[in-house]
């Protein structure tokens, strides 16, 4: 497909671009009144994720309203365990909750490696609708959670400051842990491949809880499974965003991914020295900068961009945009990148 704006694809491939492309994690969401208007008519978050026409509508909103260089399909990383047979609830103001968790071999045996085209058809249909509606204006980014992050929710049962139950399983039952991680990985590969067939041009793997693990644990229980995903996806650029995993930047650089996301605590110049100039870096403005006045946002954004001159770059925040940040602040960030 020919795009009116393919900056992000070219930057992800390490090609020369006229300017730095920009998008934001969680750009489709609560910061936009138009999103809240759609959401208010529904029973909740999951209904929106599972209704393709509406998921497509909110996917496109930030392209129209914020001027970003890519759409990221509106979905959730937890659709993967749901498809495997472990249902989650999204509780307002609290986040995800799994009524049942994985604790034993019997629990694990009850999980399936689903057919993504059946069990995750709602996301694939949303991608197809979005692709048609965008008509080549910008590319679509697909995504999934990294196996360790999905594992953490399936064992812990929800969000946690420590994920001690999930980490405990690594010590008490490493065999069960690896079997579950393998099942998650197989499901994730099939899901990402189906997203690509449906129309996404880049895929991002979110390892949101990477920084909770030690370097030793990450290398044993996380990195090998991300490697399997990178090795399996070779027809579109892959981005790995491992939040807090500053200790494995060199190892992530050795993977078959094209782009490495940096969180706001990772120094871009130091990261470039560790990672090299072959990979594209993505990030990494502190989301809290967007609470500032426009002059400060502009100054901080330019200072961030100054640090990425030694290689290909996609501008983003160092994590998802917070729900109480104003759309005008986001537009200031986007426009500053475009004018740089």
pLDDT digits (tens, 9 = 90+) for 133-161: 999 999 999 999 999 999 999 999 999 99
Q: How confident is the model at residue 92 (pLDDT cuts 50, 70, 90)?
A: confident
Look at residue 257 and tell me whether its pLDDT is greater than 90: yes
Give residue 1's pLDDT.
87
Look at residue 93 and tell me whether its pLDDT is greater than 90: no
Judge contact between 281 and 262, C-beta under 8 A: yes
Query: In this structure, what token pair is assigned to residue 122?
Result: 């709602």
Q: What is the mean pLDDT of residues 244-259?
A: 98
Q: What percent of the chain has pLDDT over 70?
A: 100
Judge contact between 145 and 77, C-beta under 8 A: yes
Q: Does domain 7-339 correspond to CATH entry 3.20.20.210?
A: yes
Which residue, among 80, 216, 221, has the nearest Cα to 144 in the 3D structure? 80
pTM for the whole thing? 0.98
**Average pLDDT across the chain, whole number:** 97
Give residue 294's pLDDT.
98
pLDDT digits (tens, 9 = 90+) for 20-71: 999 999 999 999 999 999 999 999 999 999 999 999 999 999 999 999 999 9
Domain ranges (residues) in the chain: 7-339
Cα–Cα distance list, 150 to 49, 160, 184, 263, 275 (Å):
17, 13, 7, 19, 26
Judge contact between 32 and 61, C-beta under 8 A: yes
So which residues are the catalytic ones?
A: 26, 30, 39, 76, 153
Q: Which residue has the tokens 């009116």?
A: 4
Q: How confident is the model at residue 177 (pLDDT cuts 50, 70, 90)?
A: very high
Cα–Cα distance list, 204 to 30, 70, 188, 225, 226 (Å):
21, 13, 12, 14, 11
Q: What is the mean pLDDT of residues 174-202?
A: 98
């Amino acid at each position: 497909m020919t795009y009116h704006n393919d900056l992000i694809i070219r930057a992800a491939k390490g090609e020369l671009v006229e300017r730095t492309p920009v998008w934001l994690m969680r750009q489709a969401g609560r910061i936009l009144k138009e999103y809240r208007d759609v959401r208010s008519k529904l029973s909740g978050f999951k209904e929106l994720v599972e209704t393709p026409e509406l998921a497509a509508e909110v996917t496109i909103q930030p392209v129209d309203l914020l001027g970003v260089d890519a759409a990221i399909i509106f979905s959730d990383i937890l659709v993967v365990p749901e498809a495997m047979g472990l249902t989650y609830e999204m509780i307002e103001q609290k986040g995800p909750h799994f009524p049942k968790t994985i604790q034993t071999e019997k629990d694990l045996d009850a999980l399936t490696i689903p057919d993504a085209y059946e069990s995750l058809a709602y996301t694939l249909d949303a991608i197809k609708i979005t692709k048609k509606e965008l008509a080549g204006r910008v590319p679509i980014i697909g995504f999934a959670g990294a196996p360790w992050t999905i594992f953490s929710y399936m064992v812990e049962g929800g969000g946690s400051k420590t994920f001690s139950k999930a980490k405990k399983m690594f010590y008490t039952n490493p065999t069960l842990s690896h079997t579950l991680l393998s099942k998650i990985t197989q499901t994730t590969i099939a899901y990402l491949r189906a997203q690509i067939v449906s129309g996404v041009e880049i895929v991002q793997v979110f390892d949101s809880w990477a920084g909770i693990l030690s370097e030793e644990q990450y290398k044993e229980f996380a990195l090998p499974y991300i490697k399997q995903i990178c090795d399996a996806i070779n027809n579109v650029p892959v981005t790995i965003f491992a939040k807090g995993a500053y200790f494995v930047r060199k190892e992530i650089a050795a993977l078959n991914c094209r782009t490495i996301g940096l969180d706001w605590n990772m120094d871009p110049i130091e990261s470039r020295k560790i990672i090299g100039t072959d990979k594209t870096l993505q990030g990494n403005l502190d989301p809290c900068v967007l609470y500032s006045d426009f002059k400060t946002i502009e100054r901080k954004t330019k200072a961030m961009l100054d640090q990425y001159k030694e290689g290909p770059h996609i501008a983003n925040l160092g994590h998802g945009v917070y729900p109480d940040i104003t759309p005008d602040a986001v537009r200031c960030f986007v426009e500053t990148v475009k004018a740089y």
